[in-house]
């Protein structure tokens, strides 16, 4: 039986699929690897207007609808099963942000992506709103496309670096994670005070560099899996996030795409957002957070109250 992986990939709704050799970084983690199938889906959801009736947080586009990890893994499962049918002795390993392999470099080697100076990769018809996944296999697959590991398609543009509010894009494709708002919203612990204002009302992720990019200007949502907004959507109400109890977290957020950062980080980010929005409605809750048993919550609530106080 001849397996047409490319056709199958398109049939199951992957936006792109290519094959790369198992480079040394892959072999380090998976010594049996010979080839890597690199695949992409476009996670861009339809634009959602955020009404200003009550204070809102902001969620990055990759987390506004279905969890792309689940969607992509399911498609890669289908491809992997097809490989196992035609090659019963094959060994495969599916990765969707789960293995220490350089997925952007692999996608470029597989010919499905080009690099952007903002550190994300561009995939045809997705712009940089693309999620990558891989199937590592012990089957040698040839016909590797040419290497495309440069920033040629950005040309002299540097808009993303100029748009980044923290100066986190320090060189083409090189992001200082300690300054990147997307990373800050996800990391645990105390957010450096000097970076809190730049976070605005962001609760999870940051799209500023991608929004500034001319190569994303005409990109439209394409994947039906991301057509529906799923809680927390684009702009969740801020006060319920600040007041989030353990029971509420378990009931409403735990299984959402932001649930993995857990309750403390969500409340911490919501406190920073409340401070940046000068949110008078949050004062009572922030005051009660000063008594919280968690010092991270206390520290960020105090900072937010200081920001609100400055507006009076």
Residue 97 is a catalytic residue = yes
What tokens appear for 62 in the block? 């990759």
User: What contacts 218, CB < 8 A, 6 or more positions away?
Assistant: none
For 292, left (φ over 0), alpha (ψ -120 to 50), or beta?
Answer: beta
Minimum distance of ligand SF4 from residue 171's CB (angstroms): 12
Q: Name which of 310, 261, 267 is nearest 285 in CA terms.
A: 267
CB of 150 to ligand SF4, least distance (A): 12
Question: 25 or 174, CB closer to ligand SF4?
Answer: 174
Residues that bind ligand SF4 (CB under 6 A): 116-118, 154, 157-160, 164, 166, 168-169, 175, 180-182, 206, 208-209, 212-215
Write down the least CB distance from residue 220 to ligand SF4, Å.
17
Query: Which of 9, 199 has the CB closer to ligand SF4?
Result: 199
Q: Pick between residue 102 and residue 167 the one whose CB is nearest to ligand SF4.
A: 167
Nearer to ligand SF4, 93 or 202 (CB): 202
The answer to whether the peptide bond before residue 215 is cis (omega within 30 degrees of 0) is: no
Residue 252 DSSP symbol: I
User: In the chain, count of helices (H) and strands (E)?
Assistant: 13, 10
| Cβ 155 to ligand SF4 shortest distance, Å | 7
Rounded to 5°, angle at Cα 107 from 46 and 78: 70
The secondary structure of residue 253, as a DSSP letter, is I
Which residue among the candidates 4, 97, 255, 284 is catalytic per the annotation?
Answer: 97
Tell me the catalytic residues: 97
């Amino acid at each position: 039986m001849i397996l047409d992986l490319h056709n199958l990939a398109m049939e199951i709704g992957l936006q792109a699929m290519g094959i790369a050799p198992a480079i040394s970084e892959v072999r380090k983690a998976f010594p049996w690897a010979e080839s890597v199938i690199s695949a992409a889906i476009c996670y861009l959801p339809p634009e959602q207007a955020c009404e200003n009736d009550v204070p809102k947080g902001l969620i990055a586009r990759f987390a506004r609808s279905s969890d792309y990890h689940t969607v992509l893994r399911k498609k890669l499962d289908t491809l992997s099963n097809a490989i196992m049918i035609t090659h019963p002795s094959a060994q495969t390993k599916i990765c969707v942000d789960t293995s220490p392999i350089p997925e952007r470099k692999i996608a470029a080697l597989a010919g499905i992506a080009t690099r952007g100076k903002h550190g994300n990769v561009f995939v045809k018809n997705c712009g940089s709103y693309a999620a990558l996944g891989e199937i590592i296999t012990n089957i040698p697959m040839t016909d590797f496309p040419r290497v495309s590991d440069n920033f040629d398609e950005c040309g002299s543009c540097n808009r993303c670096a100029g748009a980044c509010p923290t100066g986190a894009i320090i060189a083409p494709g090189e992001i200082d994670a300690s300054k990147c708002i997307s990373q800050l919203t996800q990391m645990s612990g105390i957010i450096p005070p000097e970076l809190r204002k730049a976070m605005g009302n962001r609760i999870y992720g940051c799209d500023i560099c991608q929004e500034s990019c001319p190569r994303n200007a005409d990109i439209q949502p394409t994947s039906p899996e991301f057509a529906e907004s799923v809680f927390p959507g684009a702009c969740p109400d801020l006060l319920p996030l600040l007041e989030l109890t353990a029971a509420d977290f378990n009931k409403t957020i735990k299984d959402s795409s932001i649930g993995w950062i857990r309750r403390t980080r969500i409340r911490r980010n919501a406190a920073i957002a409340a401070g940046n929005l000068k949110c008078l409605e949050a004062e009572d809750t922030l005051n009660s957070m000063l008594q919280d048993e968690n010092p991270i919550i206390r520290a960020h609530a105090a900072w937010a109250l200081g920001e609100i106080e400055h507006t009076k």
